[in-house]
Structure 1
Amino acid sequence: MKRTFPIATLGWAIIGFFLTALLACSSDKEKPKVDTEGPTYTLIFLDKTRSVNINKAFVAQKYQQAITDLIEQNVRQKGDRLEVYFIHENTSKARALNVSVRSEMDDVSAASPTDRETAETEFAMALSKEKSQIRQRVLQQLVAQNSGSSNQETDIWASLPVIAKANETGATVKVYYLSDMIESVKGTGRRDFQVKPPKDNAQADEWAKLDAEQLKRYTLGSPDITMVLPFEPNASVKENNPAVTQYWQTLFSELGVGTVAEE
């Protein structure tokens, strides 16, 4: 015999189904996520040369927010590592901070739902505290002043062996340049964009491909690179020269970098 259901009953059943599904999704979102991927190695290069003024309100706010965001994205589990280097005349030897995440999620594979929830909550709280501590330490380096003679030159090329060394660990490498990216090093075979920047994108590409030939000795792997520029939206072409960032886009691409973003 064919069974029938009152429309009202069927309607409430459908509503109940969707409410149950919605509550399940909400519950999942509220639970702290345990990362199952490998560790992340974050490199932050802070420009400590005369051309970047961290005391300027726009720059300070933009860089503080960038630091907050990248820590939130990349500090997720035990073994994640973060290093800060200063960009100046001696960039490759200017490591200012080196921290590794210690917070660890307990093994809950055989735990009861209550014990699992307790472990997840404790891990989330410990990780949040550690993120806050790391953020404060990075911000201390952000405002540190460099009044020495090393602020006369900007050697961004010297960041490449640092990236190559991070690549050797096998971790996922994320690189952030908080800099105007104005390479400025005197000497044969070097670029000084303070004196002679690329005149257009075509010349930027030409120079980048030429320079890549001598810089391919560094095995960078395929890190994700983000250039966080200190320029306001109304900056002039002379101040925020698009050909300079084009140079870096092309150079990093030639060196096999995964993605290059500009902020």
Structure 2
Amino acid sequence: MKKPNYSYFLLSLFLYFSLFSCGEKNTKTTENQANSPAIHTLIFIDKTASVDVSKPFVAQKYQQALNTIIEENVRKSGDKFEIYYIHENTSKGRCLSLMCRTEMEDTEGVNATDLEAIKTSYDLSIRKERTFVAKQALARLNAQNDNASNLETNILSSIPVIAKASESGAVVKVYYLSDMVESVKNGRDFQIKPPKDDSEAESWAKIDAEKYKDYALNSPDISMILPFEPTSSIKENNPTITLYWSKLFENLGVMSVQEL
């Protein structure tokens, strides 16, 4: 009886597992911007009398914020970047809408030489796009609003805008460059009557969220970038107001709300 060739058996087993391992590795998708979902950036810039973007601290903070947002969110073809002005008619306040055109090629399985060429081409193209977007965004930030619309601050009307952006299926990221002081004649007016404590802030947020329950926000990331210095008083930077907004968005199903 012929004895089994154990050496051949072990070698076959080794090759089998090696090939299985390589095949499994090749089926894994590389974490690459080309394969990631598009980002829809919504920036709401306060253009009412209570926010002065010409103040050095505010100007520096907001310019830096815009540069960071553009660097992180403008990455590839399909990324959308929009700016709305916050004032009496916020939902109609769109002043900038740009779509990124730079193609980020999928680098899966590409050799080192081609990979370097792809990255160089991408870096040059995306840098030009980001520079253009930053220039346009900065112009909108610095623009003055001397019209009557600067007398009211209707932040709540930004909610339908967010819901509309969410319909595309993109990852929606929302940034408020505002003091978040809602001030509407026929609605909340935090300049005259802010929430007196945390309990009232949460109660008002729940009541107001109910009015917008039919809008599907699909849980965007929301950031409130306030124009206040760290030494500002509680009268100027009222924590119950920012709590109101955090709770309102939470009641609308938003998971990520941060104050910057």
Give me the TM-score of the superposition, normalised by structure 1: 0.84
CA-to-aligned-CA distance 1:172-225 (integer Å, 9 cap, x gap)? 0000000000000111xx201111111111110010011111111211110000
User: Is residue 115 of structure 2 the alignment partner of residue 128 of structure 1?
Assistant: no
Q: Which residue of 1 aligns with 2:226?
A: 229
The range that moved more, 94-103 or 215-224, is 215-224
Among 206, 211, 224, which residue is 1:209 paired with? 206
Out of 230, 245, 250, the residue aligned to residue 253 of structure 1 is 250
Cα deviations across residues 136-194 of structure 1 (Å, max 9, x unaligned)? 1101000000000000000001100000000000000000000000000111xx20111
Q: Matches of 1:111 and 1:203 in 2, distance apart?
A: 58
* TM-fit CA distance, 1:129: 1.3
Gapped regions of structure 1 (runs ≥ 5) = 1-32
Question: Is residue 160 of structure 2 the alignment partner of residue 200 of structure 1?
Answer: no
The 1-side partners of 2:122 and 2:232 are apart by: 44
Mapped partners of 2:237, 2:111: distance in 1:
57
**Distance verdict in 2 for CA 1:208–1:111, change over 3 Å:** closer
Instruction: Identify which range, 143-152 or 123-132, moves more after superposition.
Output: 123-132
- Identity across matched positions, percent: 55
Whether the aligned pair in 2 keeps the contact of 1:35 and 1:76 (CA below 8 Å) is no
Q: Which residue of 2 aligns with 1:19?
A: none
Task: State the 4+ residue runs in structure 1 displaced beyond 2 angstroms.
Answer: 33-36, 105-113
Between the aligned partners of 1:110 and 1:244, the Cα distance in structure 2 is 51
Kept in 2: contact 1:45–1:178 (CA 8 A): yes
Cα offset, 1:76, TM superposition: 1.1
Alignment of 1:30-41 (within 5 A): 34-41=33-40
TM-superposed deviation, 1:111: 5.0
Residues 68-77 or 38-47, more deviating: 68-77
CA RMSD of aligned residues (A): 1.3
Separation in structure 2 between the aligned mates of residue 199 and residue 169 of structure 1, nearest angstrom: 39
| CA positional deviation for 1:116 | 2.5
Do 1:83 and 1:99's aligned partners in 2 also have CA atoms closer than 8 Å? yes
Q: Distance in 1 between matches of 2:218 and 2:146?
A: 34
Matching of residue 104 in structure 1 with residue 67 in structure 2: no
Which residue pairs with 2:57 in the alignment? 58
* 1:118 aligned partner: 117
- The superposition leaves residues 29-52 of structure 1 with CA deviations (integer Å, 9 ceiling, x where unpaired) of xxxx64421100000000000000
When residues 107 and 141 of structure 1 are mapped into structure 2, their CA distance, relative to the original with a 3 A threshold, is same
Pairwise CA distance, 1:113: 2.8
Q: Which residue of 2 aligns with 1:70?
A: 69
The 1-side partners of 2:247 and 2:33 are apart by 36
| Secondary structure of residue in 2 paired with 1:166 | helix
Residue 34 of structure 2 contacts residue 106 of structure 2 at CA under 8 Å; is this kept in 1?
Answer: no
Change (3 A) 1:107 1:254: closer
Query: Aligned equivalents of 2:240 and 2:109: distance in 1?
Result: 57
Which ranges in structure 2 are unaligned for 5 or more consecutive residues? 1-31
Equivalent residue letter for 2:180: M
